[in-house]
Structure 1
Amino acid sequence: MSELIEEMPQGQLVYRRLLDEIRTGQMAPGARLREVELAERLGHSRTPVREAIRLLEMDGLVVHQPRQGATIRLLDYAEVMELYEMRAVLEGTAARLASRAANEAELRQLAELNTEFAAAPDERAAAELNRQFHAMLLEAARNRFLARSMRGLQKTMLLLGPTTLMETDRVARAAEEHRQLIDALLDRDGASAEASMRAHMEAAQMVRLRKLRRIERPLED
């Protein structure tokens, strides 16, 4: 038991590393998780790697396939649609609640984050600032049950791979969508805030679907 306790911090470290690789697309859906290869590549023993895979399985990010073992879960088209639909519901609700509960400092912070987001030097920086923007909005909603539901959804969203912000002009368009949301929050207009967020989610969904169609389009001679 003491040996297991000693390995737990390393297991969490490997878990976070694998989550980041899934988020950035370094480990794509369908990829096999071989304990020996991961242990060698990440510089850990097989015990923390095994623990990390178990945690990913608990998150629903890893499944066991016949004759393949542990693999990164592959979402089908319907699941992608359902994910974005649920995200629109949850984040739209967060926007509506934040219009009522957010304080002035939080609204200023949202505006500042969006300014930095619009001027981000690259997609990775933009993605991090976008994450902070949505996290701040969720915090401003002041609803712990909503936050818990959103955290669970965000784990599954990792299976979508690299951010849609990598698409041409998406950062500029997303920044404008953020600004419309901020204007509704400043006006304390809950209905407009929710509608703005839902429109923002639908725009991201359309970019994702176009990307999926490009991937699935058969190669032509």
Structure 2
Amino acid sequence: MQKDAYTLILEAIDAGTYKPGDRLVESELAERLGVSRTPVREALQRLETQSMLARDGRSLIVASLDHNQLAELYTVRAELEALAARLAARHAAPEEVRVMQAMIEEDHQKLGDPIALSRANKRFHRQIHLASHNRYLVQQLDLVHRSMALLATTSLAAEGRGEIALAEHQRIVDAIAAGDEDEAGAALRAHISEAFVTRLKSDARAHGGQPQ
């Protein structure tokens, strides 16, 4: 099935092709995507409505998140992902657990490559969402992870974070495999909290401790 302009632009933002602050020009996008300007215009309007794009004068740029928005996003993400882990502990099929375990083992080969590890991390979390077997929760988490694309860097780029994150993933999968809902939820909430702390430290270093 051919992807529409909206999906293609969203995927480009998610992949980091377009980063926060980058200007999106209708004519350039149409040429790059090989579509007419009308669907591109409609896609840009939709993305602006969803706060994925922001106005900069007459131009549209990829939005960025300020400190408060970042905190709000991580708060919602932690609660929804913890719920997904709890439900996965209740509903996941043995085959789904095996897939998650295999992902962790494969991801150890990606240590040292933050971009590849970030992509793998998204796949892993998506697998937990699906294992919750709750379509409404999956939809809400899709929206949350769409907003995560507005973060220009990955917390997995921080020194040592990759190894720690995979150990946290293992704790989550062990709890899901054991059917321990409380532990699964707590493990995932702690995992998101650590990712948030890592990002805050990274942002503080990047801005020299000055307010953004």
The normalised TM-score by structure 1 is 0.84
Instruction: For structure 1, list consecutive stretches of 5 or more residues without a partner in the other structure.
Output: 1-8
The normalised TM-score by structure 2 is 0.87
2:163 to 172, 183, 207: 172
2-structure distance, mates of 1:156, 1:214: 23
1-structure distance, mates of 2:95, 2:52: 36
* 112 and 205 in structure 1: CA distance in 2 versus 1, 3 angstrom threshold: same
1-structure distance, mates of 2:51, 2:152: 15
Could you say which residue in structure 2 is the equivalent of 1:116?
106
1:95 counterpart = 2:91: no
Aligned residue identity for 1:89: E
CA deviations 1:127-152 (Å, max 9, x no partner) are 22222211111111111221111111
1:76 counterpart = 2:60: no
1:210 to 201, 208, 212: 201
The total of aligned residue pairs comes to: 208
2-structure distance, mates of 1:48, 1:146: 29
104-113 or 68-77, which moves further after superposition? 68-77
**1:218 to partner: Cα distance:** 7.2
Whichever of the two has the greater Rg, that structure is 1
* 214 and 46 in structure 1: CA distance in 2 versus 1, 3 angstrom threshold: farther
**1:77 to partner: Cα distance:** 0.3
CA deviations 1:3-44 (Å, max 9, x no partner) are xxxxxx67x2x4334323322434222332222343455555
Identity in percent: 36
1-structure distance, mates of 2:179, 2:69: 34
Instruction: For structure 2, list consecutive stretches of 5 or more residues without a partner in the other structure.
Output: none
CA deviations 1:110-168 (Å, max 9, x no partner) are 10011111212633332222222111111111112211111111111111123222222
* 75 and 133 in structure 1: CA distance in 2 versus 1, 3 angstrom threshold: same
